[in-house]
Chains A and B, each alone.
Chain A
Amino acid sequence: MWSAVGVSTLEVLRRTGCKVEFDERQTCCGQPAFNTGYRFEARRVAKHFIELFEASKAEAIVCPSGSCTAMVHHYDALFADDESWRTRAHAVAARSYELSSFLVRVLGVEDVGARFKGRVTWHDACHGLRELNIRDEPRRLIRQVREAEFVELESADACCGFGGTFSVKYPEISTAIVDEKIQAIERAQVDAVVSGDASCLMQIGGRLSRVGSRVRVMHLAELLAGQ
């Protein structure tokens, strides 16, 4: 949705020596429909995703979102009665990585030559954390950013209250949850709050903006692309 995240991801991958290709036919992994109970619709979109990426000879499929990556890793439930699609999904999932885990676990890179002047903190996006076990990777990357001062956020692993369609089905509850996050961010006295999922940033950033906070939200890729 926000092209800066894509542009920054491309920049970081190229800087670490990767040859990057981008298939312009790609759209979505199908998660919004899947999480709302529309499996037929989710399957339709997931099949498009699988067909497209199995055509690529790339060694790795890198995605700047833990949530989308986790969805690809969980196509099982979607193709429970369809072994052939399940096998194809597994093959694509085996090559799919979330950005920070790709950099740290696969490339073994922690310093991507980034620079950011200011105090930053990290919000653990739920799906990256609990489905893909991504906890240390982004922190290691942030600690290597020149001139950036990293502070741990109180209850960094608490949900921001986004939850996809939950955020508009139950906006009051969703907002009450993000308000706890906002308070923790204000207490941390940071310039920017960084996370690995655009959806969390849309929620946290949207509320920060509404309450008139000066703290900005940044995707990890944006922080890492900065020089």
Chain B
Amino acid sequence: MTQLSSETFDANARAALNDAQLRGALRNATSLFGKRRLEAARSLENWEELRTQARAIKDETLLHLDRYLEEFTANAEKAGVQIHWARDAAEANGIICRLARERGARLAVKAKSMATEEIHLNAALEANGIEAIETDLGEYIIQLAHETPSHIIAPAIHKTRGQIAELFTEKLGIEKTDDIAQLTITARQVLRDKFAAADLGISGVNFAVAETGTILILENEGNIRFTTSLPKTHVALMGIEKVIPRFADLEVFLKLLPRSGTGQHLTAYQSLITGTKRNADDEGPDELHIILLDNGRSRMLTHPTTRQALACIRCGACLNACPVYQQIGGHAYGSVYPGPIGAVITPQLFGLSKAAQLPFASSLCGACREVCPVKIDIPELLLHLRAEIKETSKVRDQRSEPVRPNRAEQVAFRLWAAVMARPRLYELSGKVFRFLQRSAARDGAIRRVNGLLGRLAPPLAAWTGTRDLRPIEPETFREYWRRAAHD
């Protein structure tokens, strides 16, 4: 399995741009999702009001997260849930593997869950001799291909129908077909047997209600129903930010999440689970374990700007709207969380030095903020992280792993600021540039800048690799003002 890293973002992105099939699949999927989202949002008159409400609920929860988590765990325990706390990925994997071992589990079925992707649970289970099968169709495809998801809600968004057909023929030995119904039926047949045989069902959580100790999981395929009801033991992994105060709050989020994600008014299934079965004869698992995962989240709570990223409900709308994601897809980000929200939470969850490129991989166009159902100001967060990265790269002695500084850029901006704060120097630098451009400009355009000038000014070389540059005019506005326009 090739696992891309956030540290090589630029190379990953370049590879993605050269993959015509990937870009075709991305163009189709992101524009379709975007169109559906817009239609679904327009179907509600009070969309903006709902966004404001949802954000207010999240803000209130995050401000008193300790209290709401205590309330949730107390009520869940009352309903028969066993609660576990995990500080990081290793602890969470440790807990799940121990639960599996203690129950002699050989086979686990998995519902689609970004939290389990975040901690790389499948690898941990495999290392413990437990087979884990993804049961969401998209995740199943990705698992067969030994890849990672490239989108928060549509993990196989980067794959074309033809690629999936080939994969099924190769891995499942079926006759080659690109009929979607036939492919789906094949996956369903394989998965039905797995559900029946599984010892453990593992899921994520969309919302956890403090007031009642209930968890809500949304899906369209019915596989989560099976995962959470057939095996004797159900383990649910949730980030600590998933809790909301009241059951009634779900109304707001149920209107926003499916519409923002897939453009549906509601997902086909909504599983509300409050504890274990009341009577021994009832259907459903004997045990429900809920694991509360921190893994860097409490660090994000400390600052009001970074805190807002914890309001994210993982709908994926910002990915579909992002011009960068639309071109390069999810894998290039080298993180389970790609796109705008990924560029914001990856450096915070896994460390600035591990993902220092991601906050810069944005044109700051703001399309993400426009579609976010909980109004996260992603551009503001990107700017905040950019400043933090530049600050930490200046400091030599620090607690966390240092970010590699870009000395040339530091010097360039120092110089730039010195010039911009001195009008005479500013005017002089314009004259110097006009003099220099004479050698580079041909027929009213500066074309490829190579050689010495390109080495002296790498941004100029980077720009002119693909774009011409219009030279600055012989007379500056200042000179015009002095000559002809002064009152």
B482: nearest chain-A partner, CB-CB:
A24
Interface centre among A45, A172, A202 (most CB of B within 10 A): A172
Contact of A6 among B326, B416, B477 (CB under 8 A): B477
Q: How many angstroms between the C-alpha atoms of A164 and B462 in the bound complex?
A: 13
Q: Kindly report which residue of chain A lies nearest to residue B384, judged by CB atoms.
A: A77
Residues of B within 8 A of A86 (CB): none
Task: Report A1-30 residues with CB < 8 Å from chain B CB.
Answer: 1-4, 6-7, 10, 19-22, 24-28, 30
A56 within 8 A of B: no
What's the Cα separation between A159 and B363 when bound, in Å? 8
- A207–B470 CA distance with the chains assembled, in angstroms: 11
B-binding segment of A31-39, A102-110, A111-119: A31-39
Distance of B484 from chain A, by nearest CB (Å): 9
Asked if B386 is an interface residue, CB under 8 A from chain A, the answer is: yes
Chain B residue contacts of A35, Cβ below 8 A:
364, 383, 386
Instruction: Tell which of B10, B369, B383, B417 has the most Cβ of chain A within 10 Å.
Output: B417
Option from A1, A24, A48 in Cβ contact (under 8 Å) with B421: A48
CB distance from B370 to the nearest CB of A (A): 6
A176 on interface, CB distance cutoff 8 Å = yes
Count of interface residues, chain B, beta-carbon cutoff 8 Å: 63
B13 touches A33 (CB 8 A): no
Whether A41 touches B324, Cβ cut-off 8 Å, given contacts A7-B480, A21-B487, A210-B467, is no
- Does A33 contact B413, Cβ atoms closer than 8 Å? yes
Fill in one digit per residue for A162-186: 1 if any B CB lies within 8 Å of its CB, else 0: 1111111111111111101000000
CB contacts (< 8 Å) of B380 on chain A: these are 77
Alpha-carbon distance between A3 and B361 when the two chains are bound, in angstroms: 31
Provide the B343-374 mask, 1 if CB < 8 A to any CB of A, else 0.
00000000000000000111111110110000
How far is it, in angstroms, between the C-alpha of A35 and the C-alpha of B390 when the chains are bound? 11
Q: Which of A93-101, A126-134, A188-196 contacts B (4 or more CB under 8 A)?
A: A126-134
Whether the Cβ atoms of A163 and B362 lie closer than 8 Å is yes
Instruction: Answer whether residue B327 sits at the interface, using C-beta atoms and an 8 A cutoff.
Output: yes
User: Which of B463-479 touch A at CB < 8 Å?
Assistant: 463, 465-470, 472-473, 475-479
Q: State whether A32 touches B386 (Cβ < 8 A).
A: no
Query: CA separation between A156 and B96, bound complex, in Å?
Result: 49
> Quick check: A24 and B420 within 8 Å, CB to CB?
no
A138 adjacent to chain B (CB < 8 Å): no
Residue of A nearest to B445 (CB): A209
Nearest-neighbour CB distance to chain A for B444, whole angstroms, equals: 9
A45→B422 CA distance, assembly (Å) = 9
Contact of A177 among B363, B419, B472 (CB under 8 A): B363
- Given known pairs A159-B367, A163-B364, A166-B363, the reply for A24 and B390 (CB within 8 Å) is no
Question: In whole angstroms, how far apart are the Cα atoms of A6 and B391 in the complex?
Answer: 35
Contact A3 B476 (CB under 8 A): yes
Question: Is A166 a contact partner of B360 (Cβ separation < 8 A)?
Answer: yes
CB-defined contacts of B324 to chain A, threshold 8 Å: 173, 177
A12 CB to nearest B CB, Å: 13
Q: Shortest beta-carbon distance, A120 to chain B, in Å?
A: 19
Q: Which residues of B contact A177 (CB under 8 A)?
A: 323-324, 326-327, 363
Chain A residue nearest to B363 in the complex (CB): A163
> Would you list which residues of chain B between 424 and 471 have a CB under 8 Å from chain A?
426, 445, 447, 458-459, 462-463, 465-470
Residues A3 and B420 in contact in the complex (CB < 8 Å), given A126-B363, A159-B323: no
Q: Is B423's CB under 8 angstroms from A174's CB?
A: no
**In the assembled complex, which residues on chain B have CB atoms less than 8 Å from the CB atom of A44?**
417, 420-421
Q: Kindly report which residue of chain B lies nearest to residue A170, judged by CB atoms.
A: B361
Closest A residue, CB atoms, query B423: A25
Given A161-B363, A166-B362, A171-B466, decide whether A24 and B417 contact each other with a Cβ distance below 8 A. Answer: no
Given contacts A26-B423, A210-B468, contact A3 B323 (CB under 8 A): no
B481 part of interface (Cβ distance < 8 Å): yes
Q: Say how far B23's CB is from chain A's closest CB, in angstroms.
A: 8
Does B328 have its Cβ within 8 Å of any Cβ on chain A? yes
Q: Which of A4, A19, A39 is the one whose CB lies under 8 Å from B387?
A: A39
Query: At the interface, yes or no: B485 with Cβ under 8 Å from chain A?
Result: yes
Q: How far is the CB of B457 from chain A (nearest CB, A)?
A: 10
Does A151 lie at the interface of the complex (its beta carbon under 8 Å from any beta carbon of B)? no
A contact residues around B487 at 8 Å (CB):
19-21
Contact B363 A174 (CB under 8 A): yes
B380 to chain A, nearest CB (A): 7
**Cβ-defined contact, A173 with B361, below 8 A:** yes
- Which of B360, B383, B472 makes the CB contact (< 8 A) with A169? B360
B409 is an interface residue with CB less than 8 A from chain A: yes
Instruction: Judge if B109 is at the interface, Cβ distance under 8 Å.
Output: no
Determine which of B366, B391, B423 lies in contact with A27 in the assembled complex, contact meaning CB atoms within 8 Å. Answer: B423
Bound: A161/B366 CA distance, A: 12
Q: Counting CB contacts under 8 A, is B14 at the interface?
A: yes
Contacting residues of chain B (383-410) with chain A, CB-CB under 8 angstroms: 383-384, 386-391, 409-410
Could you tell me if A27 and B426 are in contact, using CB atoms closer than 8 angstroms? yes
Contact of A37 with B468 in the complex, beta carbons under 8 Å? no
- Cα distance A170–B467 in the bound complex, in angstroms: 13
Roughly how many angstroms separate A206 CA and B414 CA in the complex, as a whole number? 28
8 Å CB contact of B470 from A24, A77, A168, A205 = A205
A65 within 8 A of B: no
B328 x A6 contact (CB < 8 A): no
Contact across chains for A172 and B13 when beta carbons are under 8 A apart: yes
Tell me if B363 and A3 are in contact (CB < 8 A).
no
With A10-B485, A162-B363, A209-B445 known to touch, is A36 a contact of B413 (CB < 8 Å)? Answer: yes
Chain A residues in the interface with B (C-beta under 8 A): 1-4, 6-7, 10, 19-22, 24-28, 30, 32-42, 44-45, 47-48, 77, 126-127, 129-131, 158-159, 161-178, 180, 202-203, 205-207, 209-210
Closest 7 CB pairs of A and B: A163-B363, A37-B386, A206-B467, A6-B477, A159-B365, A37-B390, A41-B417
Q: A24-B481, A37-B389, A169-B462 are in contact. List 4 more A-B contacts (CB 8 A).
A: A37-B388, A168-B462, A177-B327, A209-B468
CB pairs A–B below 8 angstroms (17 shown): A6-B477, A24-B423, A24-B481, A27-B423, A37-B389, A39-B387, A41-B414, A77-B383, A130-B365, A167-B462, A168-B463, A172-B17, A172-B466, A176-B328, A206-B463, A206-B469, A207-B467
Q: Which residues of B contact A (CB under 8 A)?
A: 10, 13-14, 17, 323-324, 326-328, 360-367, 369-370, 380, 383-384, 386-391, 409-410, 413-414, 416-417, 419-421, 423, 426, 445, 447, 458-459, 462-463, 465-470, 472-473, 475-482, 485, 487
